[in-house]
Structure 1
Amino acid sequence: MITLLSCAKTMSFSSKVKAPLQTEPRFKTEAADIALQMSQYAVDDLERLLHVNSKMALENYKRFQEFHSDFAPELQALLAYTGIVFKRLDPQSFTKEDFLYAQDHLRLTSFCYGLLRPMDLIRPYRLEGDVRLPEFGGQTMFAYWRSRLTDLFIDEIKASGGVLCNLASGEMKDLFDWARVEKEVRIITPEFRVWKKDKPTTVVIYAKMCRGEMTRLILKERIERPDDLLSFSWEGFAYDEEFSRPDHPVFISGQ
């Protein structure tokens, strides 16, 4: 089974964790090309393109300017991303064997690097899927990656048992020809909801925390069978058969 997570918008490039492996991203050349195009934009342009404030736009202007430098920092993707999902995933607690298992069974989406393995070395960046680069025919980053990632993604899932546990955010489907992915492999899409006002409701922060916790469970326990996901339990979240559908297990808290 392969588990898919979204990249985080927040990144760090120092870590006390010493992962046992460093690998080169499969789309390192494409990432360098994208970063080169992004380095042509002024701070004001980046503020608009990345939907950020001026401070964050300046930070990412500097990142893209330094991206091709020999001195640009690099860190394994699993340690570089620092969003809520990755905090709950808690790679600081991973053993060498956990890291190696994750390398084979976890994939991370990236608008700059396409599709990452946990131990791929990446450089700091920020990018959005709706960014259109004139040098690439004006297509969005979603469209740019779709033709490049779909076959690779399907092949990796098939090589790992033919099952995908999709814990990425919904927009990440657009990085792939999702109809083809659905046709060729089995996709399990867990959902996490909180009981509010007499109905189960998705609360984004809790959904992100649960995605990280479930991924942690999958990697630590070496889960390969979809049915074993139903044992997931964290902070009151538990499988609810009534609201679940085949391949769409729902976990509810506060009922």
Structure 2
Amino acid sequence: MLVLIAESKTMAPCAESIRPLGYEAHAPAFASRADSIMEAAGKMSVDELAGKVKISVPMARKLHQMAYDFPHKESGCKAIEAFTGVVFKSFGYKSLSESEQNTADGCVGIISSLYGWLRPDDVVKPYRLDFTTPMAPDGETLANYWRESVTGEIAKRLAETNDSDVLNLLPGDAAKCIDWKKIEQKAKVWKAEFYEVRPGGELRTPNSNKLKMLRGELLRHIVTDKLISPEDLKGIVSDNFMPEPSEIPGKLIFVTA
């Protein structure tokens, strides 16, 4: 089973020293294209960057510095450790055993606005973009820019591993990086949906932070409980959510208080 998660806006400094051979062995699939995007960002003024990416001037200043530092590959960190958002904190990669980390490295794919497709152990540099940013070479959004390439990389990954299932834990903007009709020709696509039980029994989608936390916890269960099929997720025992029957093919439902 291939599990897809998305980048987070917050990242670690990624200041760890990386030897050239180490970087070459763990370079992202589309590293050169990421280099080009960040090179273009570095050529903009801070004010231009703030307007283009729709971020504050102080944040644009940080992004400008990231673009300046980006070509220097002697520092960086593993993608799964670089992102520090709620999903990644809830997943808790660093607290896994070595065996569990190896499992995660083999079953997780990270969708990135800058890099497109990332394996967990790919070496990355810090950045601050998002999927709706029109920073692609032809001016289109990064989601549109990566769609064909990311779809192809997922198909390649499925062929290499003979996986027949893809679990979509992506938010809507990251999901636009993928041509799902093409992926459905290669594997069965599953989507996990979480609902809160409100007073009176009404179900509603949790707020964004809680939803991210639950996705991260679900991923941790997949890795630590050695779940290899989406069907296995229907038997998860968790303190924070419980599986519910679903009559919709490919839809996994979890209910939380």
**Same-fold call, TM cutoff 0.5:** yes
Correspondence 1:123 to 2:113? no
Deviates more, 1:171-180 or 1:76-85: 171-180
Aligned to 1:137: 138
Q: Is the Cα–Cα contact under 8 Å of residues 24 and 120 in structure 1 kept in the other structure?
A: yes
How far is the alpha carbon of 1:49 from its aligned partner? Answer: 2.7
Matched residues in 1 for 2:77 and 2:218: separation? 24
1:133–1:50: structure 2 CA closer, same or farther, 3 Å change rule? closer
Letter in 1 for 2:3: T
Letter in 2 for 1:77: A
How far is the alpha carbon of 1:185 from its aligned partner? Answer: 1.3
Aligned to 1:89: 91
Aligned to 2:8: 8
Aligned to 2:71: 68
Matched residues in 1 for 2:150 and 2:14: separation? 29
Letter in 2 for 1:179: K
Alignment of 1:1-255 (within 5 A): 1-13=1-13, 23-69=26-72, 73-133=75-135, 136-158=137-159, 159-196=161-198, 198=200, 199-203=202-206, 204-241=208-245, 245-254=248-257
1:43–1:162: structure 2 CA closer, same or farther, 3 Å change rule? same
Matched residues in 2 for 1:47 and 1:63: separation? 14
How far is the alpha carbon of 1:70 from its aligned partner? Answer: 5.1
Normalised by the size of structure 2, how large is the TM-score?
A: 0.88
Cα deviation per residue 1:8-49 (whole Å; 9 max; x = unaligned)? 110003599xxxx87221111111111111112222222233
Q: Is the Cα–Cα contact under 8 Å of residues 2 and 160 in structure 1 kept in the other structure?
A: no
Normalised by the size of structure 1, how large is the TM-score?
A: 0.89
Deviates more, 1:227-236 or 1:81-90: 227-236
Deviates more, 1:243-252 or 1:118-127: 243-252
1:105–1:47: structure 2 CA closer, same or farther, 3 Å change rule? same
How far is the alpha carbon of 1:232 from its aligned partner? Answer: 2.8
How far is the alpha carbon of 1:245 from its aligned partner? Answer: 2.4
Q: Is the Cα–Cα contact under 8 Å of residues 197 and 255 in structure 2 kept in the other structure?
A: yes
Letter in 2 for 1:151: G
Matched residues in 1 for 2:51 and 2:238: separation? 38
How far is the alpha carbon of 1:152 from its aligned partner? Answer: 1.8
Q: Would you say how many aligned residue pairs link Structure 1 and Structure 2?
A: 247
Matched residues in 2 for 1:215 and 1:99: separation? 12
Query: RMSD of the TM alignment (CA)?
Result: 2.1
Matched residues in 2 for 1:23 and 1:167: separation? 24
Matched residues in 1 for 2:29 and 2:8: separation? 19
Cα deviation per residue 1:131-157 (whole Å; 9 max; x = unaligned)? 2247x2222212211121212212312
Q: Is the Cα–Cα contact under 8 Å of residues 210 and 234 in structure 1 kept in the other structure?
A: no
Q: Is the Cα–Cα contact under 8 Å of residues 192 and 251 in structure 2 kept in the other structure?
A: yes
Cα deviation per residue 1:53-104 (whole Å; 9 max; x = unaligned)? 2222211111112211355x30000111000000011012122222222222
Q: Which runs of 5+ in 1 are unaligned?
A: none
